[in-house]
Structure 1
Amino acid sequence: MPDTSLTSRSSLAARLDALPFTRSHLRVLTGSGVGWALDAMDVGLISFIIAVLAKQWSLEPAVTGWIASVGFVGMAIGASLGGLLADRFGRRHVFAITLLIYGVATGASALVGGVAVLLVLRFFVGLGLGAELPVASTYVSEFAPAAIRGRLIVILEAFWAVGWTASALIGYFVIPASESGWRWAFALGAIPAVYALVVRWGLPESPRWLASRGRLAEAERVVVRLETDADLQRTRAPQREPVREPLAATASARMRMLWAPEFRMRTISVWAVWFCVNFAYYGAFIWIPSILVQAGYDLVRSFGFTLLITLAQLPGYAVAAWLIEVWGRRVTLSVFLAGSAVSAVLFGIADTETMIIAAGMALSFFNLGAWGALYAVTPEIYPTSLRGTGAGWAAAVGRIASIVAPLVVPVLLAQGGAPLAFVVFSAFFAIATVASWGLVDRRGEALDDR
């Protein structure tokens, strides 16, 4: 019979935090990161596909806005359910299922002949995408040693730039190549359905989650594999004081605990940041290719500009990954959000090709660095028993903003053009900057395993 003592659970957590970075950590990081990149590729592709379908199918801006927004409706529902399911059934299983759902739905989108069916499939794509992202960040954070946990989550989030760059390359080379180019782009988006098998059978379950469910023997085997990679003896790990009982055992209890006095300010702050960042990010980046086309650039040239702007995401993540363990979570997040606010204004008033590219690259740099910091801090502010739920609901609130943003942007563009739209985005970044200071900074500290 496995040892179910609180001390054993505490020992497992302490041993995880004491580990150096190992090949097993690398496998978890890259395995989750590939799934993350495939997510980004799908979200990025729709911005290019919308620009093409608007011409091929003679769509009104309101219709193209709904093609973008309906996916975010699915993402909002998926994020809220995905976190709850991950706390109940495990991180790895939910991760794999979400990849399968959105991979199949994206592949099927290549066969559509009209807007109605595309909207239905985009909803299911969003359902899978929305559930996957908070689950993946929670999953990696529970493996990561305390000293480098924030850095690893920012590196995980950097895979978003890889996927978005892939979507920009597909948008530049594949979509304009033929009338059916957008269909081939959707077909490439079916890759996650196959990758789900790799996740399901190639990656271990989170030992922290296993221990929280009383499955200590399984958790022990995972930790021993990590220690074997690190060439450490299990007895060398430091002991820490016993953890307390899990705070919540049911879905309703987990939801209530998000608003307990201990977590209330964290929940309000993280929801505010997620809402504002989602509104500004998706409002801007989903519409940038279309805005450039409306400004008079042809599809190939506007897609080329978007590709250059996208490339600035990678150095943004790299700088955030370094600073998050030097400055801490809150300072790094607030600085990158403030940089995003300034860059948004500059992009809105840009009137030359050089200004468009420079301001767009600055917006990519700061905005995606902020995303990395946000994904790092979100799982850390909640204990293990409600970590998936807390991260999932924060993401779900953010998805509400990403539903609204693509619908609001055409109205803003009609009223005041790109300057008005990007001033609004800047205001949302500024609000997020202030809200970020209500978050708890756990740089270098052990995760709360209650």
Structure 2
Amino acid sequence: MTTTHNPGDVGETEKTRTAKRRFLAKLTAATVGGMFIDGYILGIVGNAIGAVNDELGMSLFMEGLTGAAALIGIFFGGPLGGWLADKLGRKPMFTLDLALFIIGSVLQFFVDSAWQLFFVRLLMGVAIGAEYSVGWPLLAEFAPARLRGRLMSLSEVFWYVGFMLASAVAYVLVAVFSVDWRIVLGTSTVPAVILFVVRFGLPESPRWLMNQGRVEEAHRIAHTYLEEPEDALDPGDGRPRRGALGMLFSRDYWRATTFISVFWFCAVAPYFAIATFAASVLADYGLGDGLVGALGVNGLALLGVLVSLLLIDRIGRRKLTIPQQWVAAVVLVVIGSWPGAPAGVVLVCFLVFAFANAMCTALTGVYPGEIFPTEIRGVGTGFATAFSRIGAGVGTFLLPWSMHNLGAGPTMLIAAGVCVVGAVVSQVLAPETMGRPLSETSAPHRP
């Protein structure tokens, strides 16, 4: 039997493929933009807090609390946003969390007390926490398996870009032009509004619809937007599957929950501590121009994430997760156990730490969306997000105290110990998910 091909059909097929590629690019931009504004609000406050303190006369406790307000908000917003995304859908939460962020960002223009600023930043953190547990699952559920690693790890790239851009913006506005700190903090409104517009018209996740028993709608969206429609639909009989927080600790998923939570905690705790206070830490080690070193630390971190992005769908997840944590531990041991090390050696070790740590940190934006099933993908990502913020908060709060009371050497050895814990847990529990559909990567695991 001879098959004839209609040129018009071929043209229509190519048009459809182009439309699908454009949709995936738009969804990716809409997702990584959320991570950009997360990095931005954390980077902007660290560089504007001096001007805030000059006007409001905050105590050291209040200064630290204000700086950590967004982290505290993320701790609560992650699980709450994920739970709502699993119950109500990805699409509505993807809009509501950003609307909440914009409200908080605008309110920064009008605060006139330390407590007002704290609560506004806390509100913004809640929105960002929800963003983690909505955006990543949504992108994971639309991304083709062959590109999922690169697209998901792109979020971490934009987090660093947002953090570094905020530092530059704050420095220019505060140090060069003496702009009021309210305006400096409020600049986060601009990218948030742009991102809000980008998100208009995005569809609901077909996996979430399938999980709700809305099979026909799920198939229609999958075939309209996805290059591999069947891979985007969980196999099943079309009956709704209800998730619950307790599933994270069940026999099927405790390994996934333990791995991503501990790994993420151990990746961000030393980084947040060292990167936040990089200039002062490096100065303590005899590097007078700590600012240049701090920029180097963050710049190498960005490069590390970019390297992981290029390799993640070629060599796999585990090769980018485990060795890098051991390298980070080793260089911190060198710094901590060699009190008389030349300043150049210390700087090189910090740069190597930043690069290696960032390479594995890129996986924190990939694994959560892959290892939990649809019914708990949001709350699972949210729980891991909250656990990681404990690490970020502990590192940020305790590093100044530890440097002052224990000294630089013991502090770096403690940080090395955190990296070792993350490496051991990853060695035992980290799965390999490269190139596999979500229905396989999130399948129950019973050793």
TM range (shorter): 0.7 to 0.9
The structure-2 alpha-carbon separation of the partners of 1:415 and 1:225, relative to structure 1 and needing over 3 Å to count, comes to: same
- 1:141 is displaced (CA, Å) by 1.0
- What RMSD, in angstroms, separates the aligned Cα atoms of the two structures? 3.3
Q: Which moved more, 1:406-415 or 1:80-89?
A: 406-415
Relative distance call for 1:182 and 1:368 in structure 2 (3 A) is farther
Residues 347 and 26 of structure 1: CA distance in aligned 2, closer, same or farther (over 3 Å): farther
- Counterparts of 1:239 and 1:177 in 2: how far apart (Å)? 50
CA distance in 2 between counterparts of 1:22 and 1:58 reads: 52
Does the residue aligned with 1:440 lie in a helix, a strand or coil? coil
Is contact 1:102-1:192 (8 Å) kept? Answer: no
Q: Tell me the matched-pair count.
A: 422
Deviation at 1:131, TM superposition (A): 1.4
Offset of 1:355 from its aligned partner?
5.0
Checking the alignment, whether the CA contact within 8 Å between 1:54 and 1:64 is kept in structure 2 is: yes
CA offset digits 1:397-448 (Å, max 9, x no partner) = 1222323332222210211344333332222121111111313322221112
In the alignment, residue 327 of structure 1 is paired with which amino acid? I
Q: Is 1:408–2:359 an aligned residue pair? A: no
Q: Aligned letter for 2:396?
A: P
Higher relative contact order (CA 8 A, sep 6+): 1
Distance 1:243 1:160 in 2: 36
- Which range moves more in the overlay, 303-312 or 126-135? 303-312
Aligned AA for 2:65?
Answer: W
Q: Distance in 2 between matches of 1:37 and 1:124?
A: 17
> Matches of 1:244 and 1:160 in 2, distance apart?
39
Could you list the runs of 5+ residues in structure 2 that have no partner in the other structure? Answer: 1-16
Cα distance in 2 for residues equivalent to 1:414 and 1:160: 30
User: Aligned pair 1:337/2:328, yes or no?
Assistant: no
CA contact (8 A) 2:332 2:349 kept: yes
Distance 1:421 1:54 in 2: 27
Give the alignment partner of residue 381 of structure 2, picking from 371, 378, 391: 391
Deviation at 1:52?
4.6
Length-normalised TM-score, structure 2: 0.83
Specify whether residues 287 and 55 from structure 1 end up closer, same or farther in structure 2 by C-alpha distance, changes over 3 A only.
farther
Q: Distance between the aligned counterparts of 1:356 and 1:176, measured in 2?
A: 29
2:4 matched residue in structure 1: none
Give 2:205's aligned amino acid. S
Distance 1:238 1:26, change over 3 A: closer
State the SS of the aligned residue for 1:441: coil
Aligned residue number for residue 423 of structure 1: 413
CA offset at residue 389 of structure 1? 1.2
Residue of structure 1 equivalent to 2:310: 322
CA distance in 1: counterparts of 2:143 and 2:325, whole angstroms: 25
1:243 paired with 2:236, answer yes
Partner residue, 1:164: 163
**Runs of 5+ consecutive residues of structure 1 not aligned to the other structure:** 1-17
The aligned amino acid for 2:74 is M
Q: Is the 8 A contact 1:175 1:185 kept in 2?
A: yes
Aligned partner of 2:244 among 254, 259, 282: 254
Query: Residues 128, 241 of structure 1: CA spacing in aligned structure 2 closer, same or farther, 3 A cutoff?
Result: closer
CA distance in 1, matches of 2:211, 2:340: 52
Q: Percent identity?
A: 26
Shift of the 242–409 alpha-carbon distance from structure 1 to 2, 3 Å rule, reads closer
Structure 1 length as normaliser, TM-score? Answer: 0.82
What's the counterpart of residue 75 of structure 1?
A: 74
1:130 aligns with 129
SS at structure 2 position matched to 1:201: coil
Q: Relative to structure 1, is the Cα distance of residues 341 and 114 closer, same or farther in structure 2, using a 3 angstrom cutoff?
A: farther
Displacement of 1:302 in angstroms is 4.7
Residue deviations 1:211-268 (CA, integer Å, cap 9, x gap):
22233343334323335xx6x9x8xx7999943677841xxx5212112211122222
Matches of 2:46 and 2:203, distance apart in 1? 34
| Counterpart-to-counterpart distance in 2, 1:397 and 1:123 | 17
Q: Aligned equivalents of 2:330 and 2:19: distance in 1?
A: 38
Give the Cα–Cα distance (whole angstroms) in 2 for the partners of residues 313 and 297 of structure 1: 19
Deviates more, 1:253-262 or 1:427-436: 253-262
Amino acid at match of 2:64: G
Supply the AA of the counterpart residue of 1:443: M
Change (3 A) 1:177 1:28: same
The 8 Å contact of residues 70 and 122 in structure 1, kept in 2 or not, is answered as yes
Judged with a 3 Å threshold, the aligned counterparts in structure 2 of structure 1 residues 342 and 164 are, in CA distance, closer, same or farther, namely: farther
> What is the CA deviation profile of residues 352-374 of structure 1, one whole-angstrom value per residue up to 9, with x for unaligned ones?
77556544433332222212112
Alignment correspondent of 1:441: 432
**CA separation of 1:170/1:307 partners in 2, compared to 1, >3 Å: closer, same or farther?**
farther
Which of 274, 277, 283 matches 1:287?
277
Q: Partners in 2 of 1:254 and 1:277 — Cα distance?
A: 27
2:438 alignment partner, SS class: coil
In the alignment, residue 62 of structure 1 is paired with which amino acid? F
Q: Which amino acid aligns with 1:383?
A: P
In the other structure, the counterpart of 2:87 is 88
* Residues 1:182 and 2:181 are matched in the alignment: yes
What is the match of residue 148 of structure 2?
Answer: 149
Work out which of the residue numbers 239, 257, 275 in structure 2 matches 1:267: 257
Instruction: Return closer, same or farther for 1:171/1:86 CA change in 2, 3 Å cut-off.
Output: same
Distance 1:395 1:95 in 2: 16
